[in-house]
Structure 1
Amino acid sequence: MKLGNLIDAFQPAKGPPPQQLGGFLRWVLAGAWPMLILAAAISAFAGAMEAGTAFFLGLVIDTALASGPDAFFTSGNLLVILGALGFFMLVRPVLFGLSAASNAIIVQPNVNPLVLSRLNRWTLGQSVRFFDDDFAGRIAQKQMQTASAVTSVATEMINVVAFALASLLGSLALLGAIDSRITLLFLIWLVGYFALIRWFLPRVRQRSGKRAGARAMVSGQVVDSITNIKTVKLFAHATHEERSAQDAMVKFRDTALEFGYLAAGFRFCLMTLAGLLPVLLIGATLLLWRNGMASEGDIVAAGAVSIRIAQMTGWVSFTLMAIYSNVGEIENGMKTLARPDRVEDMQKAEPLQVTEGAITFDSVGFAYGRDLGGIRNISLSVKPGEKLGIVGASGAGKSTLVSLLLRLYDGEDGKILIDGQDIAGVTQDSLRGQIGMVTQETAMFNRSARQNILYGRPDASEAELIAAAKQAEAHEFILDLEDGQG
């Protein structure tokens, strides 16, 4: 099996998505966890090599000083030389290469489609009410945004958190070998560092969630205007739509500024703390060296570790800030996408069997969950082959009757029968597959004419496709169409 196929990027998830962060992450990443853990382990081994770098530098320096310029490259030092060469030219490059490959080939290309396909599959199963109550653009933005955020959290936890924790543990072991007091200084600094992280990151998470919500609202507003552009132009409301979009953009800008102020403060505090570490560790090792309690190689090792960790501190902290930002975006997307708003098939639902086509509404009532409006106590029989027209004022419930027949909503009272079968007990796909419907609105997917015509029957033959186009008096002008995408 190829490395890129170790995660099944399109494996369906089991059950509904939980509405708590931990459960939601387990749901969207189910099936990928073994490879994520393996990638994290490889990254941790690579991180531990940072302490190995400082160790070998210190060992080489001490060996060189003990041997002198003339005796360093002799057989007595062969083991040290070969060990250093093997570490820097073989062990370290292999581990870093494996870490890069596991992330770039196994994790990143697969996690995003895995999460996005699961969110999209769940969203497509939501009820019509779910889509009626929200912007189409906002829903789409939430799917893309959440999938991207989950991918970023997964990859950064592997690349940075696992790497950094292993580096810290390796550094603690190395400093402990020099002197326990150096280790104590490092631990005190770590307490201050984690206190800083603990204060800033929850606030980053909160403000990131607000920023994500505002960004999605901008997308929703813009896409809504573009989707209904003919109506916008017919009512000469371009200025009105521009104002609505700008109001959403102002809110997004305000949330982005709030996030920016927090990020700038975090960076300043972080750089100040990072600059303190080399001063503490190198200064303390120099004092030990002056008192004959540390070697020159120990100074080099402590310096290399402290400078590397100081540099890594900024990298790790900004990555943690990005992780918390993405967690805020995941939580924001989860509130929209994970909530159940569905018309579900019964556990033992059977396919609808149409023999004659008789339809019966038996005391049907539906008010969209409200006390007023909708329809109440409707009883109606439509015989096979009968043509029936239903008239009434706008909002009287004509469209509601059709929506209930198609089970776009579940009725609140009564039942609907087709050839004696209660439609609540049949599969929705089999029900809708037996009913042809032409809506008031012209629905066209942004796809080819062929794909639009075949949408009702994807398995239709070429001859049936052409016959349908001719019957709709569309065949001739379709032949003259050109691809607008070039």
Structure 2
Amino acid sequence: MIFRSIARIFENWIDPLADRAPEQPPRSLMAFCWFYLRQAKLPFFAMLVLGGGGALMETASFWFMGVLIDILDATPREAGWSGLIASHGSVLLAMAFVMVVVRVLLLSLSMLVEEQTITPGFTNLVRWQSYRYVARQSLNFFQNDFAGRIVTKVSAAGQSIGDLMSSLLQVVWFMAIYAISTMALVAALDWRLAAMIALWIAIFLLLARYFVPRIRENARELAEANSMMSGRMVDSFSNILTLKLFGNDVGNDGYMRQGFERLIERVQRFTRLITGVRAALNLLSGVMITAIAAVSIDLWFSSNISSGDVAFTLGLALRLSMMLGRLMMQLNGIMRAIGTIQNSAELIAEPIGLVDKPDATELAIRRPEVRFEHVDFGYEGGGPVIRDLSLVIGAGEKVGIVGRSGAGKSTLVNLLLRFYDVSDGRILIDGQNIADVTQESLRAQIGMVTQDTGLLHRAIRDNIRFGKEGAGDDMLWEAVERAEADSFIADLSDMRGRKGLDAHVGERGVKLSGGQRQRIAISRVMLKDAPILVLDEATSALDSEVEAAIQANLMKLMEGKTVLAIAHRLSTIAALDRLIVMDKGRIVESGTHQELLEQGGIYAALWARQSGGFLPVDGAETEA
């Protein structure tokens, strides 16, 4: 109970989830580390002081051993404990107090700071702040990288900075204090012994100067290979259904094997360096211990030092050898941590690709009119996708967008949501340029149901409540019923026995059918009740009976809203106020279903050629 109370004090020293605005960290190694370390200066300073104290206690223990041997050498055996205490009691008591009380207190406090403060507090502070910043990156940022690779780097940053600082303070700093105090005590015996220890440390530093930069660079490459391997594995597991459907285990194994070969090659290159360092250190230690032993014995022969001094000097030398060996062992971890931090910093500290203007305002809508004025857009590294597009969608108007794959339909919606900024022109909502308002307020005014429904591996209640944070169960169930989802939600359960709205849906909702996922998504948008509604193949995953029921509810949801509906199945949007036909990034036809049929253009041809309700796909174009 007492220990728990003491531990709680140290556990509360750092608040890893402190409310702090997401901020871009610097990219250089030292600046990146300091960005987070400055938030925990006192705990790390305590580690510095306590680590130095622990090193002094280590040195003192060998000095005590030498003093004790000299005391025993000067005390007749027949005097026994009483004679020993009578002549040297105060010295023995002081040494016992230092070893039992001071040493234990210093080591215990150091352990509490490291295990109760740094490990849970600081490590998760870095992870939390890194996650919050990276989560605000542009959609393009996530589309151009492995999700697993991003997760690995964000997660590893906190652990690596914590491990690096612990190693520096618990090993390197400890070693520095131990070496200095060792030379000071040995110098008091004979300058030649101190000179030999100084030479030993100097040669060690020369070895470190040669090997450390090489180890650091190889550690960075190893960290990159590790994160890439994690990304490939997560990508494979996330798409395991596709891999099993096509049954190409050999081909996928070959792809993964390439990643493993690259990782193994990096590991071998790194460990060759570490082995070389350790071999050189072992040779150095063997030569120096032998030389110090020879000089100590020679000084003892000439009565310049006592037997206790010989024991003290050799004890320090042996301990120094073990600690230098430990330091080189830790160098592996230190360099790995540095490489991982550098690798993580390159991703975490990347500037956010799409940000709000400094003076951005909140989007306030009175009339949900949408205007595209001479909009041009092309993805980075590609040609133009949207070309001089102008379109006005009146408040409350319901417009369907039609076109072959690659016409630019989804890109148009992405621009409206400001997942990307237009190359030229502007997009207005109720007369307000969306580039001048905050992204959060913009997307709060737009409800969207996509063809590829994304659900999080959380409770169904949590997935639906994304539509309106804090919505009660009554409001939530109303949205569920309107989306015709109540018929299956009540019967759902997961492997942990959670039922109904509390049941978890699996990663990306894999435990639900396509139609069930779509109805959950529609429930979410119905709960949001935004003035602008975007439907991207909203009912494509539903069977005809369920689709007919939801279509009626969607029509109710559309009342009083501005609607953009993308569809390949033309029958689902034929009754809308107006249809827009896009081709190669331009609007080529506009009108009602009947008017477009009478024009005999692209829409009429698509309508005539539909088979089973789907558009033919132009293989020469790719949907943007």
The C-alpha deviation readout for 1:257-280, integer Å capped at 9, x for no partner, is 222222222222222222333323
Counterpart of 1:137?
148
TM-score scaled by length of structure 2: 0.75
- State which structure, 1 or 2, has the greater radius of gyration over its C-alpha atoms: 2
For residues 126 and 142 of structure 1, what CA distance do their matches in structure 2 show?
A: 15
| Distance 1:263-1:369 versus aligned 2 partners, 3 A rule | same
Return the offset for 1:343: 1.2
**Which stretch of the first structure deviates more once superposed, 274-283 or 151-160?**
274-283
Query: Among 453, 465, 470, which residue is 2:464 paired with?
Result: 453
For residues 206 and 489 of structure 2, what CA distance do their matches in structure 1 show?
A: 67
**In structure 1, what residue type is equivalent to 2:75?**
S
- The yes-or-no answer on 1:43 pairing with 2:51 is yes
C-alpha contact 1:60 1:80 (8 A) present in aligned 2: no
The C-alpha deviation readout for 1:34-77, integer Å capped at 9, x for no partner, is 21111121111111111111111111222222233245514231
Return the offset for 1:14: 6.3
For residues 120 and 102 of structure 1, what CA distance do their matches in structure 2 show?
A: 25
Counterpart of 1:214?
225
For residues 434 and 13 of structure 1, what CA distance do their matches in structure 2 show?
A: 24
Instruction: Give runs of aligned pairs for residues 311-350 of structure 1, distance below 5 A.
Output: 311-350=322-361
| Distance 1:14-1:213 versus aligned 2 partners, 3 A rule | same
Counterpart of 1:75?
86
For residues 456 and 228 of structure 1, what CA distance do their matches in structure 2 show?
A: 27
C-alpha contact 1:108 1:155 (8 A) present in aligned 2: no
Query: Among 473, 487, 490, which residue is 1:479 paired with?
Result: 490
Superposition CA RMSD, Å: 1.8
| Distance 1:256-1:143 versus aligned 2 partners, 3 A rule | same
Percent identity of paired positions between Structure 1 and Structure 2:
34
**Which stretch of the first structure deviates more once superposed, 199-208 or 433-442?**
199-208
- The yes-or-no answer on 1:158 pairing with 2:165 is no
The C-alpha deviation readout for 1:213-271, integer Å capped at 9, x for no partner, is 11211221121122223333444444332321222112112211222222222222222
TM-score scaled by length of structure 1: 0.95
**In structure 2, what residue type is equivalent to 1:296?**
S
For residues 250 and 453 of structure 1, what CA distance do their matches in structure 2 show?
A: 43
Counterpart of 2:450?
439
**In structure 2, what residue type is equivalent to 1:42?**
L
Query: Among 393, 400, 408, which residue is 1:389 paired with?
Result: 400
- The yes-or-no answer on 1:5 pairing with 2:16 is no
For residues 50 and 371 of structure 1, what CA distance do their matches in structure 2 show?
A: 64
Query: What secondary structure is seen at the aligned counterpart in 2 of 1:388?
Result: strand
Counterpart of 1:24?
32
**Which stretch of the first structure deviates more once superposed, 399-408 or 222-231?**
222-231
The C-alpha deviation readout for 1:83-107, integer Å capped at 9, x for no partner, is 2211221121111111111111111
C-alpha contact 1:103 1:155 (8 A) present in aligned 2: yes
| Distance 1:138-1:14 versus aligned 2 partners, 3 A rule | closer
Counterpart of 2:317?
306
Question: How many aligned positions are there?
Answer: 486
Structure 1 residues without counterparts, runs of 5 or longer: none
Counterpart of 1:463?
474
Query: Among 406, 411, 431, which residue is 2:417 paired with?
Result: 406
| Distance 1:450-1:238 versus aligned 2 partners, 3 A rule | farther
C-alpha contact 1:13 1:28 (8 A) present in aligned 2: no
Instruction: Give runs of aligned pairs for residues 118-137 of structure 1, distance below 5 A.
Output: 118-137=129-148
Query: What secondary structure is seen at the aligned counterpart in 1 of 2:17?
Result: coil
The C-alpha deviation readout for 1:434-480, integer Å capped at 9, x for no partner, is 10011120211111222212122231111122222222222232222
| Distance 1:352-1:14 versus aligned 2 partners, 3 A rule | closer
C-alpha contact 1:50 1:170 (8 A) present in aligned 2: no
For residues 161 and 406 of structure 2, what CA distance do their matches in structure 1 show?
A: 42
Q: Which of the two has greater strand per residue?
A: 2
Return the offset for 1:392: 2.6
Return the offset for 1:13: 6.5
| Distance 1:77-1:13 versus aligned 2 partners, 3 A rule | farther
**Which stretch of the first structure deviates more once superposed, 419-428 or 276-285?**
276-285
Return the offset for 1:333: 1.8
The C-alpha deviation readout for 1:106-132, integer Å capped at 9, x for no partner, is 111112111111111111011111111
Counterpart of 1:281?
292
Counterpart of 1:418?
429
**Which stretch of the first structure deviates more once superposed, 128-137 or 363-372?**
363-372
The C-alpha deviation readout for 1:287-339, integer Å capped at 9, x for no partner, is 11111211112111101111111111111111122111110111112222221
C-alpha contact 2:22 2:133 (8 A) present in aligned 1: no
Return the offset for 1:178: 0.9
| Distance 1:260-1:472 versus aligned 2 partners, 3 A rule | same
C-alpha contact 1:207 1:258 (8 A) present in aligned 2: yes
Return the offset for 1:360: 1.1
For residues 268 and 202 of structure 2, what CA distance do their matches in structure 1 show?
A: 30
Return the offset for 1:370: 4.3
C-alpha contact 1:349 1:425 (8 A) present in aligned 2: yes
Instruction: Give runs of aligned pairs for residues 177-196 of structure 1, distance below 5 A.
Output: 177-196=188-207
Structure 2 residues without counterparts, runs of 5 or longer: 1-7, 498-624
Return the offset for 1:386: 0.6
C-alpha contact 2:156 2:344 (8 A) present in aligned 1: yes
Counterpart of 2:42?
34
For residues 331 and 272 of structure 1, what CA distance do their matches in structure 2 show?
A: 32
